[in-house]
Amino acid sequence: MTSSGRRTVYLDHAATTPMLPAAIEAMTSHLGRTGNASSLHGSGRAARRTVEESRETIAAALNAQPSEVVFTSGGTEADNLALKGLWWARLTEDPRRRRILLSGVEHHAVLDPAVWLAQHEGAELEWLPVDELGRVRPEEVQRAIEQDPESVSFVTLMMANNEVGTLQPIQEIAALAQAHEIPMHTDAVQAVGQVPVDFAALGVDAMTISGHKVGGPYGIGALVVRKETKLVPILHGGGQERDVRSGTLDAPATAGFAVAVEHAVKRQIDEAQRLIGLRDRLVDGIVGTIEGAKLSGDPVRRLPGNAHLSFKDCEGDSLLLLLDARGIEVSTGSACNAGVAEPSHVLLAMGYDDQRARGSLRFTLGHTSTQADVDAVLDHIGPVVERAMSAGLQNVGRNN
């Protein structure tokens, strides 16, 4: 509830999803227990059992081997481990492997370590172009690889865009990379639970997932990585997680994470259909009543819970705050970049002009979303857009 007593409408599931009751129960049931999963006594073995059972549950849900699930502190660490670990491993084998192929619509958890590798380690970043829907075409990847296959370190491409919801042809692109024995990483943080995710079938070498995007706890994620894929660790210490990621394992968090992943994957088909119905009603209602409102991203191959819209002559931040004052919580894009007065790098890479990139909102639905939530947005969006447009025109007048 808001301070005024109004019910809060939460439509920012892409930033974080409310924890599932079952995940809360699984996690809290272990919080009072003592035991380091690396200890050999009874309490330690009990903690280890929790971790390994959680690992097996997650692996089964994603069609991976349990030994391929490497627990991390979240999606950002998993992305960093994938990029830096692959870079150093490949460079050690062959110093010619300096090209990293990636797109300009990646999450900052991928973009920033890639830029760091370029600035500090001599990596050569090759930006794969995206079309106006935010898609990377496989032929562009093939063209980039075939320029000089021996110089490519790896390919990294997100499975589903966190801002506009567009799905990438990961399986097809992974096959192109595999044909040249080039490893591929995908950030699947937004995809798990929303679309089918089969690690073995995808053909990628490493895949990032995160707990709090699927109804699990904050502060835990995993890099699912093939056993034969070589990674140089970025953390050194006790040698946990196949000596790939050192650090004391959080047994309660792994338990909550596992329950959330299993629940999200089991309910994925039915939940996707439910969310598509809500999303389409939301999009149709906004586009049909607000002049100049346009849906961003692929209209068909997109996340079922994502509705990203741009508005004419409005600032996205103004729209967000006006909706927030009415108890409706949405986003202008990635929560990791919230508060920064810059247009979305994703929208700019898709060819949007500066105004349209700034005048966008992201509505993301999830397991708590209802028809009443959609109705609330449709009831308020008209007056909110009108007020934001008025404020924008006043600012333009003052600046002239």
* 314 a catalytic residue: no
Q: Tokens 């990203």 belong to which residue?
A: 308
Q: Tokens 């990635």 belong to which residue?
A: 334
Q: Tell me the three state secondary structure of residue 17.
A: coil
Q: What angle do CA 367, 368, 372 make, to 5 degrees?
A: 125
SS3 of 106-175: CCHHHHHHHHHHHHHHCCEEEEECCCCCCCCCHHHHHHHHHHCHHHEEEEECCCECCCCCEECCHHHHHH
- Closest to 67 (Cα-Cα) out of 81, 89, 51: 51
On whether the CB atoms of residues 98 and 151 are closer than 8 A, the answer is: yes
For residue 215, how many other CB atoms are within 10 A of its CB?
A: 27
Question: Parallel, antiparallel, or unpaired: how do β-strands 221-225 and 206-210 relate?
Answer: antiparallel
Q: Which residues does 251 contact at the CB level (< 8 Å), separation at least 6?
A: 30, 33, 35, 37, 47, 48, 50, 51, 54
User: DSSP code of 6?
Assistant: P
Q: Which of 336, 348, 378, 391 is catalytic?
A: 336
Active site residues: 336
